[in-house]
Chains A and B, each alone.
Chain A
Amino acid sequence: MNINFSGVSKIFEPDIAALVDITLNIDQGEFVYIIGQTGSGKSTLLRLITREILPSRGVVAVGGYDLRRMRKADIPYYRRDVGLVAQDFKLIPTLTVYENIAFVMEAMSVPKRLVSERTKDVINQVGLWRRRSMRPAQLSGGEQQRVAIARALANSPSLFIADEPTGNLDFHTAAEVMKILFAINAAGVTVVMSTHNQGIVNASRQRVIELDGGRLIRDEKGGTYSS
Chain B
Amino acid sequence: MTTLRYIIRDTWRLIFHHWVLGLLTLITAGVMLWILGITTLLALNMENLLSKLESELAVQAYLVKDNTIDVEAIARRIQSLEYVYSIKTFSPSDSLAKLQHKMGSQSRALEMLGDNPIPWNFEIHVNSAQDVEPLVETLKAMPEVDDVVYAGLVVKRISALSRISSRVALVMFLLAVIITALVIYNTIHISLYSRREEIGIMYLVGATRAYIATPFVLEGTLLAFLGAVIAGAGIITAYFPGIELIRENLPLLTNIILTDHALIWRFCGLLAGFGATLGWVCSYLVVARFINSITRPE
A-to-B contact residues, CB < 8 Å = 12, 50-54, 72-73, 75-77, 79-80, 84, 90-92, 94, 103-104, 106-112, 151-152, 155
Contact = CB atoms under 8 A, between A and B. Distances in A.
Interface string B188-221: 0000000001101111111111010000000000
Contacts of B204: 50, 52, 79, 84, 90
Interface residues on B, range: 20 to 34
Contacts of B106: none
Contact of B298 (A12, A106, A110): A12
B65 interface: no
A50 B200 CA distance: 13
Contact of B208 (A52, A76, A91, A112): A76
Contacts of B298: 12, 52-54
A79 B205 contact: yes
A51 B297 contact: yes
B83 to A, nearest CB: 58
Per CB-CB distance, the 7 closest pairs between chain A and chain B, nearest first, are: A80-B206, A107-B207, A79-B206, A109-B3, A76-B208, A53-B298, A106-B6
Which residue of A52, A77, A91 has the most chain B CB atoms within 10 A of its CB atom? A52
B198 A52 contact: no
B201 A107 contact: no
Contacts of A53: 297-298
Contacts of B2: 106, 109-112
A110 B6 CA distance: 10
B261 interface: no
A112 B1 CA distance: 11
Contacts of A151: 205
A74 to B, nearest CB: 10
Contact of A92 (B3, B5, B198): B198
A79 B198 CA distance: 16
13 contacts: A52-B297, A72-B209, A79-B203, A80-B206, A84-B204, A92-B202, A94-B17, A94-B198, A103-B207, A104-B207, A107-B208, A109-B3, A112-B2
Nearest to B212: A107
Q: Which of A76, A90, A91, A155 has the most CB of B within 10 A?
A: A76
A155 B206 contact: yes
A215 B293 CA distance: 30
Interface of B: 2-3, 5-6, 17, 197-198, 200-209, 211, 297-298
A77 B206 contact: yes
Contacts of B202: 92, 103, 107
A152 B198 CA distance: 16
Nearest to A77: B206
A112 B17 CA distance: 23
Q: Which of B3, B209, B297 has the most CB atoms of chain A within a 10 A radius of its CB?
A: B297
Nearest to A54: B297
Contacts of A91: 201
Contacts of A94: 17, 198
Contacts of B198: 92, 94
Contacts of A111: 2
A90 B199 CA distance: 11
A76 B209 CA distance: 8
B297 A107 contact: no
A133 B105 CA distance: 99
A107 B205 contact: yes
Contacts of A107: 6, 202, 205-208, 211
B3 A104 contact: no
Nearest to A114: B2
Contacts of A79: 203-206
A130 B192 CA distance: 32
A112 B6 CA distance: 9
Contacts of A52: 204, 297-298
Nearest to B3: A109
B206 A92 contact: no
B201 A90 contact: yes
Contacts of A54: 297-298
